[in-house]
């Protein structure tokens, strides 16, 4: 019998969250030139990726935060990005912190 630990997704799901995250990021990547950003599709993929990883993967939380930012929900984006910063590996933390500062500015500008 397979017993899952809280930090591990079920083995059959290991590649799926990464594929979902990649699909969502392709839509919300600020450097993307996509004209018709299907935010509903990106949000759904990002939410499912986070569910499958039990909201413990900084990169996937970062993507979900970006989905909320693109949707104009800067408060939620900021909250999620704070979590991504906490979970980020040290060698990548500055990237997540930079995005966190961006969301703080966006939230302040859109009040």
Q: Tens digit of pLDDT for each residue in 92-103? A: 999 999 999 999
Q: Which domain holds residue 78?
A: 15-26+38-109
pLDDT at 53 over 60: yes
Instruction: Answer for the pair 70, 49: CB distance below 8 angstroms, yes or no.
Output: no
Whether 6 is covered by a domain: the verdict is: no
Whether 63 is covered by a domain: the verdict is: yes
State the pTM of this model: 0.86
pLDDT tier, 70 (very low <50, low <70, confident <90, very high otherwise): very high
Whether 5 is covered by a domain: the verdict is: no
CATH number of the domain at 75, please: 1.25.40.10
Q: What pLDDT is recorded for position 4?
A: 41
The domain tally of the chain equals 1
Whether 59 is covered by a domain: the verdict is: yes
Read off the tokens for 46. Answer: 């990002």
| Euclidean distance between CA atoms 16 and 25, whole angstroms | 14
pLDDT tier, 14 (very low <50, low <70, confident <90, very high otherwise): low
Whether 69 is covered by a domain: the verdict is: yes
């Amino acid at each position: 019998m397979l017993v899952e630990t809280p930090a591990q997704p079920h083995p059959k799901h290991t590649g799926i969250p990464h594929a979902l995250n990649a699909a969502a990021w392709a839509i919300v990547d600020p450097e993307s030139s996509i004209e018709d950003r299907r935010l509903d599709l990106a949000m759904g993929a990002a939410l499912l990726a986070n569910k499958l990883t039990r909201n413990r993967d900084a990169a996937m939380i970062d993507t979900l935060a970006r989905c909320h930012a693109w949707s104009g929900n800067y408060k939620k984006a900021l909250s999620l990005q704070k979590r991504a910063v906490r979970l980020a590996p040290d060698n990548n933390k500055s990237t997540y912190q930079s995005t966190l500062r961006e969301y703080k500015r966006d939230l302040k500008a859109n009040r």
